[in-house]
Amino acid sequence: MQIKKILPVFSYLFHPIFISLYGVLMYIQFAQLGINSITLLLLIQVIILTVLLPLSIYSLMKALGNIQSFTEASIKQRRLPIFLQAAFLFILIKYNQYMPQFPALFFFFAGGFIAAIMALLGTFLNFKVSLHMIGICSLLVFLISLSLYFNYAALLIIAGFIVITGCVATSRLYMKSHTIEELVAGAIIGIFSQLAMW
């Protein structure tokens, strides 16, 4: 299979909408919690708030002609989805009864909320920061932080995500969805929004 056909797959698999779910799954793995009643309820809440609701809204907006596609949107078209994502993260942080039991996850979602607000502000400055890079870089920093927090040997996982980060960036350039400046801005926001929490 040609590389050109593989690259767009990274934009879909690591779409920002899935990053919160990946973060929770990696947290469960690093913390060696397994799937129990609490982690299952947490997963369900995360899936509903950060995946299903945003997907439903995106689908509705696309049906109404308010956005072009699942992976691409103009600066103006991004404002409502980003605002709603920030709102859903705030709800998850503020009202999830299990969040106090998982401080590392609280930091992860709080960093995601900050990053979403910064991306939203960018739209009002007419700047299209890469949400994909915010997401994947946030997840990468979170994984590194978790490995240190839990003293978990995760060199191969981290190395794999570094490669994936490069593939996501290359994919966004190949699809002509972003400029290098927009990718770098997204990476900076993703990295430092997480570092600020730790």
Please give the distance of CA 26 from its chain centroid, rounded to a whole number. 13
Q: How far is CA 32 from CA 105, 106, 110, 161, in A?
A: 14, 17, 22, 20
Continuous segment of H or E residues that includes residue 14: none
Closest CA to 42 of 20, 24, 17: 24
Query: What pLDDT sits at residue 75?
Result: 77
194: CB partners within 8 A, 6+ apart: 107, 108, 111, 137, 138, 141, 142, 145
Residues with Cβ within 8 Å of residue 198, at least 6 apart in sequence: 107, 145
Single pTM value for the model: 0.89
Q: Give the pLDDT confidence score for residue 62 in this predicted structure.
A: 79
Measured between alpha carbons, how far is 58 from 103 in angstroms, rounded to an integer?
30
pLDDT score of 43:
93
Query: Would you tell me how many other CB atoms lie within 10 Å of the CB of residue 127?
Result: 13
Helix (H), strand (E) at residue 1:
none
* H or E element that contains 132: helix 131-149
CA atoms within 13 A of residue 38's CA, in its CB half-sphere: 10
Q: What does the pLDDT read at residue 3?
A: 66
- Local confidence pLDDT in tens for the 198 residues of the chain: 566 678 788 888 999 999 999 999 999 988 888 888 889 999 999 999 999 999 998 888 878 877 766 556 677 878 888 999 999 999 999 888 878 888 999 999 999 999 999 999 999 999 999 999 999 999 999 999 999 988 888 889 999 999 999 999 998 888 888 899 999 999 999 999 999 987
Radius of gyration of the chain (CA): 16
C-alpha 41/C-alpha 171 separation (Å) is: 34
Tell me the three-class secondary structure of 34-46, residue by residue. CCCHHHHHHHHHH
